[in-house]
Amino acid sequence: MAKKKRRLTEQELRRKEMQELIELKKMRQAAQEGRQLGEGEGLTFEKEEELRPKTFKQKWKNYWYHYKLRTWMTVLFGVLGIWFIKDVFFSPKPDLSIGVATYTGVSYFTEAIDEDLAAYAADYNGDGEIYIAASESYFSMEDIEMANAYYQKFIAELSAGSELVFILDDYTYDIVMGGTEGDSMFIDFGELYPDVDYVDGDKIDITDHPLGETWHLSSLGGIEVEGYPERRYYLCVRYLGNSAKDSEENREELDRALDFVNNIISTTNPEYQDNRPYYDVDYDIEHKNG
């Protein structure tokens, strides 16, 4: 009996092998004819279980694998958007803008130009703080390209009329005068403060002023420059007209600038404290613009 049972098992195996050969033949024939096997044709297999992430860790790993680049781009643009909104809508607005253009940088001796200037200003825009935006340009550098870039920046600021108040030295003052054919673009403070010895026409010499002492301007001016053995430093304010357009905004900026100048002057001459001289802005606009 055991022998007969073993023969039956071998027959079953042979039949199974034969059936598989027949089904493979059918599959080849269907492939050659370009058709799909019908239901019940060919080999049958158990349906594989679809692999889906189940735990949070698996889901996060799957997400990060497929959307890593898109996620980083979203984060980057989100940060830039927040920075832009903050800079435009929430950054403090300056009470006054001042251009500092000298041969040797004032920042050589101080890193707090804005704060040093703010000591002579007031909360003009009423936001509860005093903030001076100082834009510095200087030309004493070995890198010629960088020096030229600062020069172009300085000339652009003058041409655009975006700033009315400037701190200059003899070197940069002559650059300005060289582009005006000898006609100054600055207010004549000698008429407003005739008894102040460090005011000379359109130049307020701050070299020995307490502000100048804070910045060590006498030492900076002693750095040798060809044609300028000893440079002085000046506070100058543009009158309105030409590129510095006569607008309501610029008139407000000019009024702030004149208050700033009066605070500088009254530091050494207290008789001008709360006694700012009258400046006829309309006269200069009418008579000094070509």
How many Å apart are CA 208 and CA 267, to the nearest integer?
Answer: 12
DSSP β-bridge partners for residue 98 = 134, 165
> What integer pLDDT is reported at residue 45 of this predicted model?
46
pLDDT digits (tens, 9 = 90+) for 20-70: 777 777 777 766 665 555 555 555 544 445 557 668 777 777 777 778 888
Please, are residues 107 and 113 in contact by the beta-carbon 8 Å criterion? yes
Q: Report the SS3 class of residue 169.
A: strand
How many Å apart are CA 125 and CA 156, to the nearest integer?
Answer: 26
Q: In CATH, what is the architecture of 96-287?
A: 3-Layer(aba) Sandwich (3.40)
Please, are residues 234 and 100 in contact by the beta-carbon 8 Å criterion? no
Two structure tokens written together for 189? 């403070």
Instruction: Spell out the domain ranges in the chain.
Output: 96-287
Q: What is the largest CA-CA distance in the chain?
A: 139
> What integer pLDDT is reported at residue 40 of this predicted model?
54
Q: Is the pLDDT of residue 169 over 90?
A: yes
The overall average pLDDT reported for the chain is 82
Q: Is the pLDDT of residue 263 over 50?
A: yes
> What single string gives the DSSP state of each residue in 102-138?
ESS-GGGT-S-HHHHHHTT---TT-SSS--EEEEEEE
Q: Is the pLDDT of residue 99 over 50?
A: yes
Two structure tokens written together for 140? 């004493």
Instruction: Describe the crossing of helices 170-178 and 144-160 by its angle, rounded to 10 degrees.
Output: 60
Angle among Cα 186, 160, 82 to the nearest 5 degrees reads: 125
